[in-house]
Structure formats: C-alpha cells, structure tokens
C-alpha cells in the first residue's frame, strides 16, 4: 500500500500546480503557496513576463497576498512552499517578512540563495532566520523546469 503524501508534499503539489499556470502564461514555471495554521493563505506563480516586472517572482507575489490576509507584514507562524530554491531577492524578502519556515523543491545552482550560492535565510548576521527543508518533490520540480527550458531551446532553434 502506498503511503499518503506528507503535508509538505501536499503543499508542494499545490506549488507545482501554480508553476504550471506560470508556464501556461509563458513564464518560468515556479510556483509557491504560503500556509498559516494549516490553511493556504496565498498562492502565486512567476509573472515576470505577464506583468513586465522583474520583481514579479512567485514568492514576492505570495508574500503580498499573505500579508494582506493576515493584516500584517510580519508573517510569523507561516511556512512558504516554493518549487525552486529562492534567489537573493526572494530569500531576503522571506527574512524581512519573518516567516518561520521555508520548504523548497529543487536547488538552483545558478541563483540559489538558500544553500547553493548563499545562505541568506539562515545568516546569523541578520535579525531573523528561517527553518529550511529542501528536496520535497525535488525530481518533479526539477523535471518541470528542465522540460520548460528544453522546449524553449527547441523553439528558438526552429526560428
């Protein structure tokens, strides 16, 4: 008998679903959800292409939604689930928003700011640190991104 998905896996599946929406809109498939008291309070996906905004990363959009829901910019008690290791901008925003926990799918060796290149979210010199869990549904998250970029390269070669 197959074991049921853990809560982390359930929420990461929701983030993956958001990433598909980004992809459908022509953006890099990165998705995110924020959970507070076992409730999803924010769902977002990359919208840089759609909004023509370099800051429209899934995490930034979700942080805005969560702060609006809670009525405070301090997101204590929240966990963010994101399909790709956050970049420096997003990692910094997570620290500033004071989330309790970050759960991400796959590492980002080019811009990852949690473990790959930097460790912004656990830097002892900053005023806040997040608990980090990585590798949740990493194969699924990685495969989604790789397929997207493979298609992009293929389409570019055909032009």
Distance CA 70, CA 104 (A): 22
Q: Is 62 helix (H, G, I), strand (E, B) or coil?
A: helix
The strand pairing partners of 39, in sequence order, are: 36
Catalytic residue among 23, 59, 85, 131: 59
Closest CA to 96 of 70, 63, 68: 63
Burial of 31 (0-12, 13-18, 19+ CB in 10 A): buried
Tokens of 144: 């989604």
Distance CA 80, CA 103 (A): 6
Is residue 59 flagged as an active site residue? yes
Closest CA to 84 of 25, 148, 146, 142: 142
Active site residues per annotation: 59
């Amino acid at each position: 008998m197959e074991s049921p998905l853990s809560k982390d896996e359930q929420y990461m599946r929701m983030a993956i679903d958001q990433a598909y929406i980004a992809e459908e809109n022509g953006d890099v498939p990165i998705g995110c959800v924020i959970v507070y008291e076992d409730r999803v309070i924010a769902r977002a996906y990359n919208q840089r292409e759609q909004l023509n905004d370099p800051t429209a990363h899934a995490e930034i959009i979700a942080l805005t939604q969560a702060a609006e829901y809670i009525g405070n910019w301090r997101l204590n008690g929240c966990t963010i689930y994101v399909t790709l290791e956050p970049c420096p901008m997003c990692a910094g925003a997570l620290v500033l928003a004071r989330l309790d926990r970050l759960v991400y799918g796959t590492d980002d060796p080019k811009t990852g700011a949690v473990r790959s290149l930097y460790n912004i979210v656990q830097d002892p010199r900053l005023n806040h640190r997040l608990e980090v869990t990585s590798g949740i549904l990493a194969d699924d998250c990685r495969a989604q991104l790789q397929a997207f970029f493979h298609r992009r390269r293929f389409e570019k070669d055909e032009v």
